[in-house]
Amino acid sequence: MMTLHEVLKNSINIGLHAVVMGLLIIPFLWFSGGLSPRQDEPVQPTMESKLPLRLMTQ
């Protein structure tokens, strides 16, 4: 049997890993256009955010 202290420690570790993974994944989704600030019209913001990146890379 695990003690209450061990259970809490394990759940805190899992929570921290989930937060770290979320923080690592969110920027990739944001830059790839998966996330848009306005959910009402998803096509417009992603196109606006991709055009300046294309102009910078050329």
Query: How far apart are alpha carbons 27 and 7 in whole angstroms?
Result: 31
Query: How far apart are alpha carbons 48 and 38 in whole angstroms?
Result: 12
pLDDT tens column, 16-56: 999 999 888 887 777 777 555 555 554 555 555 555 555 55
Lowest mean per-residue pLDDT among 6-10, 12-16, 44-48: 44-48
State the first-to-last Cα distance of the chain, in angstroms, to the nearest integer.
61
Q: How big is the chain, counted in residues?
A: 58
Query: How far apart are alpha carbons 31 and 13 in whole angstroms?
Result: 28
Residue 49 has a pLDDT of: 55
Amino acid at 13: N
